[in-house]
Amino acid sequence: MANRFVQKLSGLADLDADDAAALERVTAKPRRYVARQDLIREGDEPGPMFVVLEGWVCRYKILPSGSRQIMAFLMPGDACDLHIKLLAQMDHGIQAITTASVATVSREQMESMMRDHPNIARTMYMAQLVDEGIMRAWIVSMGRRSAAERVAHLICELYLRARSIGLTGEGEFALPLSQLVLADALGMTAVHINRVLKELRLAGAMALTRGSVTILDPVKLVQIAGFDENYLHRRLLLTGLSAR
């Protein structure tokens, strides 16, 4: 099975065989997490960098009212918290959404690898910049996009991220996110997101079924979202979801 971490970083810049082998070595002993199991919790002392090899994971924060805000989705190939060890404690939690295989890379391992492999160092920093771009796009969605635009934009983003690591079919991809999870990510209620998903289906843009999304009309979905893939900074332009 392909190492999704190597696959993702190879999509950002050229990695040679030695680079790929080094990445595979540090992620060779992943740990298995079950759905809703925390990798780390808010207030914990920061530990190693997490690398998701299989499954989906999210960053989240619990408000005093008990409600949850999901701040990021991490899919196979994603790494998080390159420099987290510099902080005194975690300001949010990270939790498995599905059964997940997650490797841990210590700060010492990462520093050594980045020192010995300049290509890896460059791609890790690029990946971090992409993560920051995604965060900015989410902030814009929460602040300025309508409910339909917000949902459509997230689906466009997740589709392209999944496609870049080979997790999609023709206009379809596995989306193991319940409507409640989507609501927590988009700042909506489950009832509201159910209504928006119905509107998008009736508009012929997309259809969400249990565990998967079918993009019925890519152009229409992109237009509804006002989607511009620039913030994902992908090296190769992919066909399908493009307004151009």
- The model's pLDDT over 84-130, given as tens digits with 9 standing for 90+, comes to 666 788 999 999 999 999 999 998 898 899 999 999 999 998 999 99
pLDDT at 80: 87
The fold adopted by the segment(s) 146-232 is Arc Repressor Mutant, subunit A (1.10.10)
Any idea of the CA torsion for 196, 140, 90, 105, to the nearest 10 degrees? 90
Burial of 80 (0-12, 13-18, 19+ CB in 10 A): buried
Phi, psi angles (nearest 5°) of residue 102:
-130, 125
Please tell me the number of Cα atoms within 13 Å of 240 on its side-chain side: 19
pLDDT at 1: 62
Q: Which residues of the chain have pLDDT under 70?
A: 1, 83-86, 234-244
pLDDT at 81: 79
For residue 22, give the amino acid letter. A
CATH of domain 4-127: 2.60.120.10
Domain boundaries, the chain: 4-127, 146-232
Report how far residue 206's alpha carbon sits from residue 203's, in angstroms, rounded to the nearest whole number.
Answer: 8
